[in-house]
Structure 1
Amino acid sequence: MLVLGVGGIVAWSQIGVMPAEPGPLAGVRENAAITVEDAEQGIVLAPADGESELGLVFIPGAKVDPWAYAAILQGLAEDGVTVVITRPWLNLAFFDPRGLDSFTSAAPGVDVWSVGGHSLGGVRACQLAADADALVLFGSYCATDLSASELPVLSLAGSDDGLSTREKIDAARDQLPADAEMVEIEGASHASFGDYGAQAGDGTPTISMDDMHAEVTERAGAFLGELVR
Structure 2
Amino acid sequence: MTVEAQRPAWLTWTVRVVAAGGVAVVAWACLTAGEAVAHGHPAYAVLLGLTVLGCALVLWRSVRPRPAHRGWRGVLDVVLVVAGIGWIAAMAWCRPYVAVEPALAAMVSDAEVTVTESATRVELAPAENTDRNVDGTAVFFQPGAKVDARAYAAVLRPLAEAGHPVVIAKQPLGIAFLATGAFDGARAQLPDAERWVVGGHSLGGVVASTAADDGDPDGPEAGAAPVVGLLLYASYPAGDVSGSLTAEVESISASRDGLSTPDDIEASRANLPDDSSFTVVDGAAHAFFADYGPQPGDGTPTISHDEARTQISAVSRRFVDRLSP
Same fold (TM over 0.5): yes
* Aligned equivalent of 1:150: 246
Larger gyration radius, structure 1 or structure 2: 2
The alpha-carbon deviation at position 65 of structure 1 amounts to 0.5
The alpha-carbon deviation at position 104 of structure 1 amounts to 2.2
* Aligned equivalent of 2:94: 14
**Could you say if the C-alpha distance between residues 27 and 143 of structure 1 is closer, same or farther in structure 2, counting changes exceeding 3 Å?**
closer
The alpha-carbon deviation at position 26 of structure 1 amounts to 1.8
* Aligned equivalent of 1:199: 295
User: Greater strand share, 1 or 2?
Assistant: 1
- 1:184 to 2:280 alignment: yes
For the 8 Å contact 1:122–1:138, the answer to whether it is kept is yes
User: Residue 279 of structure 2: SS of its match in structure 1?
Assistant: strand
Larger mean CA deviation between 71-80 and 201-210 belongs to 201-210
User: Residue 72 of structure 1: SS of its match in structure 2?
Assistant: helix
For the 8 Å contact 2:252–2:278, the answer to whether it is kept is yes
* Aligned equivalent of 1:73: 156
Question: TM-score, structure 2 length as denominator?
Answer: 0.65
User: Residue 165 of structure 2: SS of its match in structure 1?
Assistant: strand
The alpha-carbon deviation at position 27 of structure 1 amounts to 4.0
Task: Return 5+ residue gaps in structure 2 as ranges.
Answer: 1-78, 216-226
Matched ranges for 1:1-229 at <5 A: 4=83, 7=87, 11-15=91-95, 17-29=96-108, 31-39=110-118, 41-49=120-128, 50-98=133-181, 100-130=183-213, 131=215, 132-148=227-243, 149-229=245-325
The alpha-carbon deviation at position 204 of structure 1 amounts to 1.9
The alpha-carbon deviation at position 7 of structure 1 amounts to 4.3
Distance in 2 between residues matched to 1:75 and 1:206, nearest whole Å = 24
Larger mean CA deviation between 127-136 and 187-196 belongs to 127-136
The alpha-carbon deviation at position 89 of structure 1 amounts to 1.5
Question: TM-score, structure 1 length as denominator?
Answer: 0.90
* Aligned equivalent of 2:47: none
Structure number with the bigger relative contact order (C-alpha 8 A, sep ≥ 6) is: 1
CA RMSD of aligned residues (A): 2.2
Task: Give the residue type in structure 2 aligned to 1:224.
Answer: V
User: Greater helix share, 1 or 2?
Assistant: 2
Distance in 2 between residues matched to 1:31 and 1:214, nearest whole Å = 20
* Aligned equivalent of 2:21: none
Distance in 2 between residues matched to 1:33 and 1:13, nearest whole Å = 37
- The alignment covers a number of residue pairs equal to 228
The percentage of counterpart residues that share the same residue type is: 39
The alpha-carbon deviation at position 12 of structure 1 amounts to 4.2
Task: Return 5+ residue gaps in structure 1 as ranges.
Answer: none
Which string of whole-angstrom CA distances, capped at 9 and with x for unpartnered residues, describes residues 53-82 of structure 1? 211110000011110011111011101111
